A and B are shown apart, each in its own frame.
Chain A
Amino acid sequence: MEQTSTQTGDQGLEKSVARLTPDQIAKTLGEILKSEGGARLKAYVKTCMSCGLCADACHFYLSHENDPRFSPAGKVKQTIAPLLKKKGAVDPEFIKRAALVAFTQCNLCKRCVMYCPFGVDVAWLMLFVRRLCSRLGVVPQYIQDTAHSHSVTKNQMWVKEDEWIDTVFWQEEEAAEEVPGLTIPLEREGADIMYSVIAPEPKFRAQLIYQAAVMFHAAGVSWTMPATPGWDNSDMAMYTGENEIMGRLKRAHFEAAMRLRVKRIVMGECGHALRSVHDMGNRWLGWKTPPVPVTHAIEFYWELLESGKIRVAKKLKTPVTLHDPCNVARGLGLHEKARDVMAALCEDFVEMHPNREYNICCGAGGGVINCGPPHKAERLAASSAKAKQLFDARTRGARTIIAPCHNCHGGLEDIVEHHHLGMDLKFLGDVIYECMEKPWKKDEEEQGR
C-alpha cells in the first residue's frame, strides 16, 4: 500500500500545523468534548463493529481501487477513533493527516449511513473532526477564506452590499429587455415568497437570477429578495465546523424573511444551502424545523408546473440524465419531484444507475471543491466511480446531465472534462427557461405583424 504524500502545498494546513503543539491539541479536544460530542460520538465510535460493509458505499474507496484507507470506517480509524482513545495525545502531523482526510476525502454525502447496519453517521464524525481542526486553525486555506467571507459579509464570495443590489438591478434591466414589464422586486414587504440564492450566483452565474425572474414573472409569483445581508443562503462555515458562524448566517437569513413578512423562503438550486437552512443551521439556532417554511427550487418548480402556472411550450429533445444531489435526495427526498419536473420538460430521460438516494456523489460536495486548487488533483483522482456511472448513462444515450445543485455542477464539470465524457450540464432552471411558454413572445410577434 503506497503512502499518500501529506505535502499538500496548502498553506492553511502546512503553516498552521507547524505552529501547533501537542498540548494545544489535547487541550482543545478536551474543551470541545466538555460541551459537544456526547452520546452520538461515543455510540458511533464504539459500536462500529469494523465489518467493512460501509466500504463500497464510498466513491473515494471505489475510485481508489478499493484502498481500505478510503472506506468510511477507515477514515474514522485514521481520525477520531485514535483521537478519543489517546485523549488527544497526538502529534501535529496526525492532525494534518486528519484534516486532509476529513476535509478532502469525505464529501459528507451520508451514503455510507445507508449501508451501515447500525446507521453510524460517518459524515457527522468527519464534521466533528473538522470542528476540532478548525479550532486548532488547521483548515484548507480556500475554504477558510470562504468562511471568513461569511463571517465578515454574511455571504460566501465577499460580495459587498451595493454590488449585490447592483447585480440584481443589472439582471432586472437585462431581463426587462426580453420581458416587458418584468421587475426583480427587492425589499417588497408582504410578498408571498422570499427568493434566496447562493453568492456564486451574483458573482459568476448572474443569468440564473435572470432566469428565475423570468419564470416567476411568467407564473405571476408574488416574490421579493432582500437588499440587506441575509440574501445569501449558502454556508461554508457549516463545512469548516464553525457552527457559530453558521448560526449567525442562518439567523440573518431567517430574519430577512421575517422582516419582509413573507410566507416562505424559496431557495435556488443548491444542495448544501438546503442542508444548512433545513437541517443544520436551524438546529444550531434551536429550531427543530426552520422558523420560516423553506421550499427548495425543485419543489417550487414542481408546484409551478403542476398548477399550470408555467406551461411547457416545447420539450427538450436532447436525451438527458439526472444526477440526484446528496443534499436534496438523501437530504430531503426530492428525487421523485425532480423526476416529475424532468418528465414535464424532457422527451428523452435516461436514468443513471444507481439513482435516487443511492446515487454516487459528485465528489465536490461537503466543501471538498471549496478546498480549492491544492486539492483538485486529489479530488479528480477519486472520480472514476462517478465517471463510470456517467459513462454508462452516456452509452445509453444521455448527452446532458441535469444537476440541481451548484456544487454538483462544479464537480461534474470537472469530471466530464477530466474523463473526456463529452456531456454538458444544466440546471433544472435552465431547462424550464428554455422550454417554458413565454406569452410575451406571442404578443411581440403579433405586434410585429
Chain B
Amino acid sequence: MTKAYVFAAGPLLWVSVIVFAAGCLLRLGRLAWLARKKDRPVYAYMSAHYALRSIGRWLVPMGTESMRKHPVTTVVSFAFHAAVVLVPLFLFAHVLLFYEAFGISWWTLPEEAAYAGTLVVLAGLVYFFARRLIRPEVRYLSGPADFALLVLVALPFATGLWAFHHGPGVRVVMLLHVLSGEALLAAIPFTKLSHMFLFPFLRGYMGSEFGSVRHARDW
C-alpha cells in the first residue's frame, strides 16, 4: 500500500502535471494554428480592450442579464468555481507537501475555510447533477459524459474530506484521493473541463466581435 502511495504521489503526479500542462498548451496551440488557417476574422477582430471588457463583465457575479435570470445557478456557480480552484491550491496539507519536496511555500487557507470550500464544491456538484436531471432543457442536452465529469470532479474532494475526518480505510482513501486528483488534472485538456483555459479566448473573441464590429453589449 505504501509503495503504491509513494508511486502515485511521486512519478504519477509528475505524469499528470505534465499531461495537464502539455495538453493545455497543445490544445491552445492547435486552436491558434487552426484559427490562423481557417478563421482569419479571429485574429483580425480580436481586441484586448473589448476582450477584457467582456471577460470582466462575465466574472462579476450578477453582472450579466443571463446571470440575473438565474440567480441560484449563478450563486452556486460562482461559489463552486471559486472553491474548486482555491481549495486545492491553498490547502495547508498541499502546500506543506510542496514545501517538503521543493522548499517553496505560499499563503494557505485557514482550516475552516478549506473545509467550508470543500463542502461548497460537493454541494455545487450535487446541485449541478440535480439540475441536469430535473431541468428538461438541461437533461435534453446531457449525456453520460456530462454526469461522469461531475463524478470525476467530486472524487478528489469527497476522498479528501474522508481523509480529513480519518474515516475507516483512510489509507485506501488517501490513495484514491491522490489518484482521482491526478486523473482530474490530466482530464482537463481533453474533456469539457477544457473550458477552464478556453473561457478567456472564447469570451474574449465574442466580446471583441460585439465590441468592435457590432458596437453592442454581449452580456
The A-B contact count (CB < 8 A) is 130
**Beta-carbon contacts under 8 Å, B40-95 to A:** 41-42, 44-45, 54, 58, 64-66, 69-70, 73
**Beta-carbon contacts under 8 Å, B93-140 to A:** 135-140
Contact between B214 and A279, CB atoms less than 8 A apart: yes
A77 in the interface (beta carbon within 8 A): yes
Contact between A68 and B214, CB atoms less than 8 A apart: no
Contact between B198 and A69, CB atoms less than 8 A apart: no
Residues of A within 8 A of B201 (CB): 43
Residues of chain B at interface, number, CB under 8 A: 48
B177 in the interface (beta carbon within 8 A): no
Which of B64, B138, B199, B213 sits near A118, CB closer than 8 Å?
A: B199
Contact between B214 and A333, CB atoms less than 8 A apart: yes
Residues of A within 8 A of B136 (CB): 66, 68
Residues of A within 8 A of B146 (CB): 49-50
Contact between A40 and B39, CB atoms less than 8 A apart: yes
**Beta-carbon contacts under 8 Å, A8-42 to B:** 35-40, 42
Which of A38, A278, A288, A329 sits near B39, CB closer than 8 Å?
A: A38
Q: In the complex where A66-B136, A114-B218, A121-B206 touch, is A47 in contact with B192 (Cβ < 8 A)? A: yes
Which of A39, A52, A69, A113 sits near B218, CB closer than 8 Å?
A: A113
Contact between B31 and A43, CB atoms less than 8 A apart: yes
Give the CA-CA distance A36 to B73 in the complex, in Å.
Answer: 36
Which of B35, B195, B213, B214 sits near A39, CB closer than 8 Å?
A: B35
Contact between A119 and B137, CB atoms less than 8 A apart: no
Contact between A61 and B65, CB atoms less than 8 A apart: no
Which of A35, A50, A53, A283 sits near B66, CB closer than 8 Å?
A: A53
In this complex, what residue of A is CB-closest to B204?
A119
Contact with A along B150-161 (1 / 0, CB 8 A): 000000000000
Which of A40, A114, A120, A279 sits near B42, CB closer than 8 Å?
A: A40
In this complex, what residue of B is CB-closest to A68?
B140
B1 in the interface (beta carbon within 8 A): no
Contact between A283 and B35, CB atoms less than 8 A apart: no
Give the CA-CA distance A40 to B194 in the complex, in Å.
Answer: 15
Contact between A49 and B192, CB atoms less than 8 A apart: yes
Contact between A357 and B139, CB atoms less than 8 A apart: no
Residues of B within 8 A of A (CB): 31-32, 34-35, 37-39, 41-42, 44-45, 54, 58, 64-66, 69-70, 73, 135-143, 146, 192, 194-195, 198-199, 201-203, 205-207, 210, 213-219
Residues of A within 8 A of B (CB): 35-40, 42-44, 46-53, 55-57, 61, 66, 68-69, 71, 73-74, 77, 113-121, 278-279, 283, 288, 329-334, 357-358
